[in-house]
Chain A
Amino acid sequence: MEQYLLDFDLKVMAPELVIVSAAALLSVMDLFLKETASRKVIAVLSLAAVLAAGVFAVMGFGHPPYQILGDTYRIDSFSLTFKVIILAGTALVLLLSLHLNKEEIETREGEYYYLLLTAVLGGMVMVSSADLITLFVGLELLSLSSYVLVGIRRKDLKSNEAAWKYVVLGGVSSAFILYGMSFVYGLTGSTNLFVIRDRLMQALYSGYDLFVYLALFLMVVGFGFKIATAPFQMWTPDVYQGAMTPVTAFLAVVSKTAAFALVMRIMLIAFLPVFSPQISVGVEKLLMILAALSMIAGNAVALKQTNAKRLMAYSSIAQAGYILVPLSTLGFVLFPSLAYYLLAYLFMTLGAFAVLDVVTREGKNEELHVFAGLHQRSPWLAFAMSVFLISLAGLPVTAGFFGKFYLIINAIGREQHWLAGVMILTTVVSYYYYFGIIRQMYFRSPASLRPIPVPWTAGLVIVVGVIGTIGLGLLPDTVLQSLGKIDWGSGFDLAKNAVRQ
């Protein structure tokens, strides 16, 4: 029986529909507002739309997985969890953007907000589909919006350079992904991940294994660019430095989470046949190498950074390496530990970027010494930053410690001791540069004693960050158990209403 779009229950798409209609309405509204009028109202409405989408996404939990038109859209616990993380990250980024003034965005305030919305839409599509075409369109929607967001300050040379590099390297990585996908399609004749899984299994054992590996390799190269892992990380520092701080925070948290969900979905469904341990060049080994390289390269290069945003960029490369550990080892607590770490990462990274934003804005400088003597100027700000940095470094009583601990359990459980070793060693190395900032804040004398003005929106982000970081650290078991109750398997099984071709 042939199915049409209207045969399906479209209520499950509510979060996406809210975001896409908000983006469309706000872009029209932007046209009718006076040129000189403030666009704060657009910002507030975007925030409301993101929150509404978040409410719809939370309401979706507990229903059986549902697919529309051959898995081109699917909703399950996996996609809902990631959607909630993405929307929460975006809401915090929007809050952080609220105090940007018109001059900073060069009067492109309205566009800034609805491009952020379309970027989120792309991210949400990336986490809730099991079809290569939809996944790719979502990825491109997110990437294209991000390119523009990075380059939105046209008069800023750094921003121009960042946007240019991001477009070129992002385009190259998309080409790699697409080339890999074309081989997959050529082998299997389908874009549905479940059909691909079955047919790749046949292809693997009927002499076409080299094609499978070629496709896998090309796609891993492309994905490596998108989640900023070494050796494909060269765009990250320049782009993170050139973009406005809220955009950087968006790239570091939301983009990365969405791209990571996409990688998980493709690797764990379509390439599942290549995951078996008998195969010499399986997904596992490729991803483990990527993870180890990112941890080493990110942490090593971060040691000699003097620019705060570049330091955060290298730190995020290292974090990408940590996040890859459970997937590459296919650990026993893969999903709960990963979701826990992504949540912790969201709170600590966004909090750190919020502090970074207010401090660098006041100091008109992004070098590390703007943090000098922050303790004497604004003790609470220094305290919050210390919490985030301690968490990023992975020391106890913070979310980062338990997050890393659970990630390592995956590696040790699968007897990949070398990977666990690399992770512990590089973590120790990372203490040096994280504590470099803390040293600046507490043991250096400030240039002036004026307290740093904190806009209430940025303050709210910082407070949420601190509560999240410490809260997750105080109640790790409770959180992990509730994350463990989520039906993760539903993300990788056929939906109830699936029609097999």
Chain B
Amino acid sequence: MNLTGEFVAFFILSVMAIGGAVFMINFTRVIHMALALAFTFFSIAGIYLLLNAEFVAVIQVLIYTGAVSILMLFGIMLTKHRDEEKGSIAPWHSVLSFIAAGAFFGIVMWIIYRTPIAGEQVDLKQFGVARLGEAVFKQYVIPFELASVLLLVALVGAVILAKKEER
């Protein structure tokens, strides 16, 4: 394996992403968890950038690292955040979940490595943001409009579930 800059960057970013995820599970304070999660999100944005998906990377930073993390921090600040997490209900429960998740991971990895998807080199300029916008507003305009109804529903739902009762 030749050591290119890309490989080094990928290595660092994935260690950061996995590390953030592991810390997020192991921390006991909620605020630390939220920060660890933000760290993971940010590293994943870096991986997208390595894959030449600039748009997705920017969106990842904006939505996940920015909006979602801030929202979580707000949520934590506005609620009781001093509670330390209690241990899980039964010890065998976490063991079982670990085995199930591990087995699933193993199977997916095995399938991916057994038949690597062969792809030819393509001109990356074809896949710019302009093409993406064109696809969204031409071919996929119906789901795009539906997504706006979806956002409306989410907004209305959030308001009626969170609104304080007057009177």
Inter-chain contacts of B82 with A (CB < 8 A): none
Bound form: Cα–Cα A125–B147 in Å: 12
Bound form: Cα–Cα A393–B157 in Å: 37
Inter-chain contacts of A140 with B (CB < 8 A): 150
Inter-chain contacts of B150 with A (CB < 8 A): 137, 140-141, 144
User: Does A2 lie within 8 Å of B140, measured CB to CB?
Assistant: no
Check: B143 CB closer than 8 A to any chain A CB.
Answer: yes
User: Does A20 lie within 8 Å of B108, measured CB to CB?
Assistant: no
Closest residue to A4 on the B side, CB-wise?
B138
Would you give the 0/1 interface string for B104-126, flagging 1 where the beta carbon is closer than 8 Å to chain A?
A: 00011001001101000000000
Determine how close the nearest CB of chain A comes to the CB of B56; give it in whole angstroms: 13
Check: A145 CB closer than 8 A to any chain B CB.
Answer: yes
Closest residue to A106 on the B side, CB-wise?
B165
Bound form: Cα–Cα A151–B161 in Å: 8
Contact of A134 (CB < 8 Å), options: B146, B161, B165: B146
Bound form: Cα–Cα A206–B56 in Å: 31
Contact of A210 (CB < 8 Å), options: B111, B149, B165: B111
Would you give the 0/1 interface string for A202-232, flagging 1 where the beta carbon is closer than 8 Å to chain B?
A: 0000011011001000000000000000000
User: Does B115 lie within 8 Å of A211, measured CB to CB?
Assistant: yes
Bound form: Cα–Cα A72–B145 in Å: 12
Bound form: Cα–Cα A188–B102 in Å: 28
User: Does A148 lie within 8 Å of B160, measured CB to CB?
Assistant: yes
Bound form: Cα–Cα A115–B142 in Å: 20
Determine how close the nearest CB of chain B comes to the CB of A42; give it in whole angstroms: 14
**How many chain A residues touch the partner (CB < 8 A)?**
40
Inter-chain contacts of B117 with A (CB < 8 A): 186-187, 208, 211
Bound form: Cα–Cα A291–B115 in Å: 32
Check: A284 CB closer than 8 A to any chain B CB.
Answer: no
Inter-chain contacts of B140 with A (CB < 8 A): 69, 72, 133-134
Instruction: Tally inter-chain residue pairs, CB-CB below 8 A.
Output: 83
User: Does B160 lie within 8 Å of A152, measured CB to CB?
Assistant: yes
User: Does A111 lie within 8 Å of B115, measured CB to CB?
Assistant: no
Check: A271 CB closer than 8 A to any chain B CB.
Answer: no
Check: A426 CB closer than 8 A to any chain B CB.
Answer: no
Q: Which of B108, B115, B153 has the most CB of A within 10 A?
A: B153
Knowing A118-B149, A141-B153, A208-B115, the reply to whether A111 touches B142 (Cβ < 8 A) is no
Would you give the 0/1 interface string for B131-149, flagging 1 where the beta carbon is closer than 8 Å to chain A?
A: 0000000111111001101
Contact of A148 (CB < 8 Å), options: B115, B147, B161: B161
Inter-chain contacts of A137 with B (CB < 8 A): 143, 146-147, 150
Check: A73 CB closer than 8 A to any chain B CB.
Answer: yes
Inter-chain contacts of B130 with A (CB < 8 A): none
User: Does B161 lie within 8 Å of A131, measured CB to CB?
Assistant: no
Check: B156 CB closer than 8 A to any chain A CB.
Answer: yes
Determine how close the nearest CB of chain A comes to the CB of B114; give it in whole angstroms: 6
User: In the complex, which residues 1-31 of chain A have their Cβ closer than 8 Å to any Cβ of chain B?
Assistant: 2, 4-5, 20, 23, 27
Check: A308 CB closer than 8 A to any chain B CB.
Answer: no
User: Does B142 lie within 8 Å of A68, measured CB to CB?
Assistant: yes
User: In the complex, which residues 87-128 of chain A have their Cβ closer than 8 Å to any Cβ of chain B?
Assistant: 106, 108, 111, 114-115, 118, 121, 125
Knowing A118-B153, A133-B140, A148-B153, the reply to whether A154 touches B161 (Cβ < 8 A) is yes
User: Does B161 lie within 8 Å of A2, measured CB to CB?
Assistant: no
Check: A147 CB closer than 8 A to any chain B CB.
Answer: yes
Bound form: Cα–Cα A23–B146 in Å: 13
Check: B154 CB closer than 8 A to any chain A CB.
Answer: yes
Contact of A108 (CB < 8 Å), options: B111, B115, B160: B160
Determine how close the nearest CB of chain B comes to the CB of A250; give it in whole angstroms: 15
Closest residue to B166 on the A side, CB-wise?
A35
User: Does A27 lie within 8 Å of B156, measured CB to CB?
Assistant: yes
Q: Which of A20, A27, A144 has the most CB of B within 10 A?
A: A144
Bound form: Cα–Cα A141–B140 in Å: 16
Knowing A115-B157, A144-B153, A148-B153, the reply to whether A214 touches B111 (Cβ < 8 A) is yes
Check: A400 CB closer than 8 A to any chain B CB.
Answer: no
Bound form: Cα–Cα A111–B140 in Å: 29
Inter-chain contacts of A141 with B (CB < 8 A): 146, 149-150, 153
Check: A373 CB closer than 8 A to any chain B CB.
Answer: no
Determine how close the nearest CB of chain A comes to the CB of B100; give it in whole angstroms: 12
Inter-chain contacts of B111 with A (CB < 8 A): 210-211, 214
Closest residue to B158 on the A side, CB-wise?
A148
Determine how close the nearest CB of chain A comes to the CB of B64; give it in whole angstroms: 15
Bound form: Cα–Cα A2–B138 in Å: 9
User: Does B143 lie within 8 Å of A148, measured CB to CB?
Assistant: no
Q: Which of A27, A138, A148 has the most CB of B within 10 A?
A: A148
Q: Which of A20, A69, A152 has the most CB of B within 10 A?
A: A69
Determine how close the nearest CB of chain B comes to the CB of A346; give it in whole angstroms: 24
User: Does A111 lie within 8 Å of B156, measured CB to CB?
Assistant: yes
Bound form: Cα–Cα A125–B145 in Å: 12
Knowing A108-B160, A144-B153, A152-B160, the reply to whether A214 touches B108 (Cβ < 8 A) is yes
Inter-chain contacts of B154 with A (CB < 8 A): 144
Inter-chain contacts of A152 with B (CB < 8 A): 160-161
Inter-chain contacts of B146 with A (CB < 8 A): 121, 125, 134, 137-138, 141
| Nearest 9 pairs of A and B residues by beta carbon | A148-B157, A134-B143, A137-B143, A210-B111, A137-B146, A72-B142, A133-B143, A141-B150, A118-B153
Q: Which residues of A contact B (CB under 8 A)?
A: 2, 4-5, 20, 23, 27, 68-70, 72-73, 106, 108, 111, 114-115, 118, 121, 125, 131, 133-134, 137-138, 140-141, 144-145, 147-148, 151-152, 154, 186-187, 207-208, 210-211, 214
4 further A-B contacts with Cβ under 8 Å, apart from A114-B156, A214-B108, are A134-B143, A137-B147, A144-B157, A152-B160
A-B contact pairs, 12 of them (CB 8 A): A4-B138, A69-B138, A69-B139, A72-B139, A73-B142, A111-B156, A131-B143, A137-B143, A148-B156, A152-B161, A154-B161, A208-B117
